[in-house]
A and B are shown apart, each in its own frame.
Chain A
Amino acid sequence: MASIWEWANPRKFMDWTDRALPVIAALAACLFVGGLVWGFFFTPDDYRQGATVKIFYLHVPSAMMAINIWAMMLVASLIWIVRRHHVSALAAKSAAAIGATMTLIALVTGAIWGKPMWGTYWEWDPRLTSFLILFLFYVGYMALWDAIENPDTAADLTSVLCLVGSVFAILSRYAVLFWNQGLHQGASLSMDAEENVADVYWYPALVCIAGFILLFVTLVLLRTRTEIRARRLHALEMRERVAGQ
């Protein structure tokens, strides 16, 4: 019986992603487009918020992904620290840019939504502020990757940053809650039916969330494959240079 780690062996990883990627990508596209079309055109306008409520289908999934991608990077960083598995480090590196983009989407759609609802694009509200901080963490993480030439050193240092950053991200989350009670509503997708959104909005939102998750999986696999190829190319170039001398 092969261990689970073999799936992450670079060669095997390239093999199975080569076969699985078209399927996952197609599924992601279906769910993503399906969820958004369903949400935008086939749900009624909200009686108070009107058509603006529909930005919800972009805002909520991207905000969820922004947090979960950091959690995935944390797991990947831990795997790198413990097992020194190169694909894991590269996956964390690939995920960072996607996470930063998701955070940005959540912030921008939130601003666009906030203007008609709260009368302001930006408010120093706990949720908004903690997303801004999260965005800073992503930017710092990517900048540290880019600043270091040796890939192993970069992976080591960014993993340590990811670990410490996670602790401080949680701290900041509670600190800003303490600092300002804001405008943002509570969780709209909790298990508690009382504060949940109505079913008409809930089902397309679920499809959108699934679409975003698969979109992330597609992108992270694609980017990791690119990173592995770039690494191989680099190795080939070095070999040629050595042979040419």
Chain B
Amino acid sequence: MIRLFWRDITLAFRSGGGFGLGLGFFLILVTLVPFGVGPDSARLETIAPGILWVGALLACLLSLDRLFALDFEDGSLDLLATAPIPLEGVVAIKALAHWITTGLPLVIAAPALGFLLHLDGAAYRWLVVTLLIGTPALSFIGAFGAALTVGLKRGGLLMSLLVLPLYIPTLIFGAEVVRRGAEGFLVGTPLAMQAGITAGAVALLPFAAAAALRVALR
């Protein structure tokens, strides 16, 4: 399992694109937003939490179809399915590797990009905390979507459509915490809800994704 984990990470680093893609997209989005809405710093400050969260979500979505598709095409997914570790474990490890290569860089880069959008000082802490808590849920939900569409040609668009409504609760709670944090309100409830979603997604979705993969490999 550990070896699979390292294999996925090194593949993501070496194959190019996979690792930098999400981060690059995030950077492009944040650079473009002020040109779209105007350089007024008060307006940027109010929309910054939402933009950063939507950006993180889309960046995550962008790299999802590589999650199982490459392994499915070259047949290594069949080998993984017959390996002594359960398929649920394979899914969990691959989702974790996806998070490390796309989610974690976003968490690290977010404060710098928040600075560009004049994010309120008090909100940085909450931005990092919510992204740290929320992005694993994005990876695991995405792994489920990717598993559903793995055998399909041109599954990318379909996967985005399937995953989009599943992402909404995470996005709502994530952006809500940052917004409340910026205004100095209590953030406990949405933060707990988001942590709950992540915990549920990490615990349950590997089973659903593995069931979908078994159907696709049948």
Q: Most chain-A Cβ atoms within 10 A of its Cβ — which of B168, B176, B205, B212? A: B168
| Chain B residues with a Cβ closer than 8 Å to the other chain, count | 28
B165 and A179 contacting across the interface, CB-CB below 8 Å: no
Contacts of A136 in B (CB 8 A): 161, 164-165
**A interface with B by C-beta (< 8 Å):** 133, 136-137, 139-140, 143-144, 147-148, 153, 156-157, 160-161, 163-165, 168-169, 171-172, 175-176, 178-179
Cα-based distance from A160 to B147 in the complex (angstroms): 11
Cα-based distance from A100 to B218 in the complex (angstroms): 30
Query: With A147-B155, A153-B215, A164-B208 as given contacts, are A139 and B168 in contact (CB-CB < 8 Å)?
Result: no
Q: Does B193 contact A (CB under 8 A)?
A: yes
Q: Does B211 contact A (CB under 8 A)?
A: yes
Please classify the interface of chain B as helix (H, G, I), strand (E, B), loop, or mixed, using the class held by over half of its residues.
helix
B161 and A175 contacting across the interface, CB-CB below 8 Å: no
Name the contact of B161 in the complex, choosing from A143, A163, A176 (C-beta under 8 A).
Answer: A143
Shortest distance from the beta carbon of B24 to any chain A beta carbon, whole Å: 27
Contacts of B162 in A (CB 8 A): 140, 143-144, 161
Q: Does B29 contact A (CB under 8 A)?
A: no
B215 and A140 contacting across the interface, CB-CB below 8 Å: no
Contacts of B211 in A (CB 8 A): 156, 160
A143 and B158 contacting across the interface, CB-CB below 8 Å: yes
B158 and A156 contacting across the interface, CB-CB below 8 Å: no
A-B pairs with beta carbons under 8 Å apart, 20 shown = A133-B168, A140-B161, A140-B162, A143-B158, A143-B161, A147-B152, A148-B151, A148-B152, A153-B215, A160-B211, A160-B215, A164-B144, A164-B205, A165-B165, A175-B193, A178-B173, A178-B176, A178-B189, A178-B193, A179-B176
A175 and B172 contacting across the interface, CB-CB below 8 Å: yes
Contacts of B166 in A (CB 8 A): 164-165, 168
Cα-based distance from A188 to B133 in the complex (angstroms): 38
* Residues 166-211 of B contacting A (Cβ, < 8 Å): 166, 168-169, 172-173, 176, 189-190, 193, 197, 205, 208, 211
